[in-house]
Amino acid sequence: MRKIIVTESISLDGVMQAPGRPDEDIRDGFSRGGWAVPYTDQVMGSAMGEGMAATGALLLGRRTWADFAGYWPRQTDNPFTPVLDALPKYVASTTLEGPLPWVNSYPLTGDPIAAVRELKAQEGADISVLGSGALVRSLRRHGLVDGYVLLVFDLDGVIYLIDRPIPGAVEAVARLHDEGRAVAYATNNASRRSSEVADLLTGMGVPARPTEVLTSAAATAELLRDRLPAGAPVLVVGAEALRAELRAVGLRPVSTADEEPAAVAQGYGPQVGWSDLAEASLAVRAGAPWYATNTDRTLPSPRGPLPGNGSLVAVLRTALGRDPDVVVGKPEPALFTTAARRAGTGRTLVVGDRLDTDIEGARRAGLDSLLVLTGVSDAAELLAAPEARRPAYVSFDLAGLFDPEAVVAVPGRPDAGGWSVTVTGGELALDGAGRPLDALAALCAVAWSTPTDPRVRAGSAQAAEALAAFGLDG
């Protein structure tokens, strides 16, 4: 069976349109065509070349194919031209008919999704999708994208809860390593250093190196190192891990506003108290810029959500009457883009349990994401999620990385998988029978497309069971 590997150029603010040339796609008055060219370098070219060398065919949307067909055959001195000419090029379109003018181009007749499924079922090398944003979104909805080289995991709520592994997590990561997939861990928890997190994971049976762990504490220290002179004092509100990260980059942690700090760094620490917050408030009022490692309102625990750094940031926000100058961790994209850059590829899947940090951060970084329902965010929050916080996939746990029956692309269709969802009396009505995850995908389709209250009621016994599985029966 062949795999479909997607390669996209996506800016950090979500722009996919016309990355290569000013005239590539000027729809809707778009005037920034060619925006990706200044960032193209030898590393990117090598990665693209290696990916093309392993490709057995191209799958393109109609608009992308038309642009390529009008451009590449004329680039006779470009080494990519003969490669593209030689590859079979399948075009997903309901309007194009063969024969097509660019050599080895073939329209997919009939239902494009069914035709793609047939292509995947064949024996042969992987199929690459370049650009073709509308096509990629459709493929994702139907669960047809399966090429991710790097998987980036959140930790709390995905791999472990506090200091205990979540059931199935150890086995899932071991399988990824066995399959040769690159793995990285990105956490907003600033109470541990990268080396401590790696040791914790290894002790749980998840082998990890410090270089695979990206923490908001380390990212904050690196940012301050780049902005302050060596040895500058930084007032720390948080755990010893944040102080250690600052010392590691040549800065001097301090504890009081009287020490005239050049900045305030605030991260989570279970021992943070009123006096710590008071010193930070005085320092910020005196002119020190205020850096927050993250703004997670809560953190998961076996007993339920507990106050996180965002709750402590809210205390200072109330006292100062303003927001932090800089928030470093998720949902800011830096942790994810750093992980993707280290892997040397754009094919990255972010796995997280929080819509407001993991999933929103992945979307800001232009990366696909999988929401696992083992941590903070639940199905009710998913149905009410604004567009910026909607994942590409949902699963109960990490089994969704391997078992197609344990994951679903969202949103689905309102009438798919044996389910139907309608809006009745201001509520979502679920009827039918089928896989619970398909019911959730159908609910997302309606909840995300109509301004309705996401309260749900069941229209059948099977629907009631599905809603109960997601805690939506209350």
The whole-number pLDDT of residue 274 equals 96
Is the per-residue pLDDT at 46 higher than 60?
no
Average pLDDT over residues 294-316: 89
Which residue range forms the structural domain that includes residue 175?
A: 150-188+332-399
Is the per-residue pLDDT at 367 higher than 60?
yes
Residues 137 and 263 in one domain: no
Q: Read off the pLDDT of residues 136-189 as tens digits, 9 standing for 90 and up.
A: 777 766 766 555 556 677 777 778 776 688 888 888 888 888 877 788 898 888
Residues 184 and 75 in one domain: no
Residues 459 and 426 in one domain: yes
30/266: higher pLDDT: 266
Residues 28 and 109 in one domain: yes
Max mean pLDDT among 71-85, 89-103, 357-371 falls in: 357-371
| Structure-block tokens of residue 252 | 């001097």
Residues 271 and 303 in one domain: yes
Give the orientation angle of helix 274-285 with respect to helix 309-320, to 10 degrees.
Answer: 50
Residues 117 and 183 in one domain: no
Q: Where are the alpha helices (DSSP H) in 257-386?
A: 274-285, 309-320, 334-343, 360-364, 379-383
- CATH code where residue 306 lies: 3.40.50.1000
Is the per-residue pLDDT at 456 higher than 80?
yes
417/257: higher pLDDT: 257
Is the per-residue pLDDT at 382 higher than 50?
yes
Residues 128 and 34 in one domain: yes
Is the per-residue pLDDT at 299 higher than 90?
no
Residue 194 lies in a domain: no
Residue 216 lies in a domain: no
The pTM score is: 0.65
Residues 137 and 156 in one domain: no
Final residue in a domain of this structure, among 278, 299, 320: 320
Is the per-residue pLDDT at 251 higher than 60?
yes
| Structure-block tokens of residue 78 | 């470009």
Is the per-residue pLDDT at 7 higher than 90?
no
Q: How confident is the model at residue 97 (pLDDT cuts 50, 70, 90)?
A: confident
Distances (CA, A) of 273 to 189, 288, 291, 298: 18, 20, 18, 17
106 CB contacts (<8 Å, ≥6 apart)? 88, 89, 90, 91, 98, 100
23 is catalytic: no
At position 255, the amino acid (one-letter code) is S
Average pLDDT over residues 64-72: 88
Residues 238 and 365 in one domain: no
Residues 371 and 462 in one domain: no
Final residue in a domain of this structure, among 81, 108, 141: 141
Distances (CA, A) of 330 to 188, 219, 294: 6, 11, 6
The one catalytic residue among 154, 276, 356, 358: 154
Residue 229 lies in a domain: no
Q: Read off the pLDDT of residues 180-229 as tens digits, 9 standing for 90 and up.
A: 778 889 888 888 899 999 999 999 888 888 888 989 999 899 889 989 99
Is the per-residue pLDDT at 366 higher than 60?
yes
Q: Alpha-carbon distance 292 to 326, whole Å?
A: 6
- Beta strand 164-165 with 182-187 is unpaired
Q: How confident is the model at residue 287 (pLDDT cuts 50, 70, 90)?
A: very high
Residues 393 and 451 in one domain: no
| Structure-block tokens of residue 188 | 């907003």
- CATH code where residue 464 lies: 3.30.300.290
Average pLDDT over residues 296-311: 87
CA nearest to 212, candidates 350, 340, 339: 339
Using alpha carbons only, give the angle 129, 133, 136 rounded to the nearest 5 degrees. 55
The one catalytic residue among 25, 156, 356, 397: 156
Average pLDDT over residues 30-36: 74
Is the per-residue pLDDT at 450 higher than 80?
yes
Name the average pLDDT for the chain.
85
**Domain count for the chain:** 4
Residue 225 lies in a domain: no
Residue 215 lies in a domain: no
Average pLDDT over residues 11-25: 67
> 3-state SS of the chain: helix, strand, coil percent to 5?
40, 20, 40
Residues 131 and 61 in one domain: yes
The whole-angstrom distance between residue 46's C-alpha and the CA centroid of its chain comes to 24
Final residue in a domain of this structure, among 379, 399, 419: 399
Residue 111 lies in a domain: yes
The whole-number pLDDT of residue 12 equals 45
Please spell the DSSP secondary structure of 39-59, one letter per residue.
Answer: G--HHHHHHHHHHHHTEEEEE
| Structure-block tokens of residue 466 | 């599905």
Is the per-residue pLDDT at 236 higher than 50?
yes
156 is catalytic: yes
Is the per-residue pLDDT at 16 higher than 80?
no
Residue 227 lies in a domain: no
Helix (H, G, I), strand (E, B) or coil at 344: coil
At position 316, the amino acid (one-letter code) is L
Residue 337 lies in a domain: yes
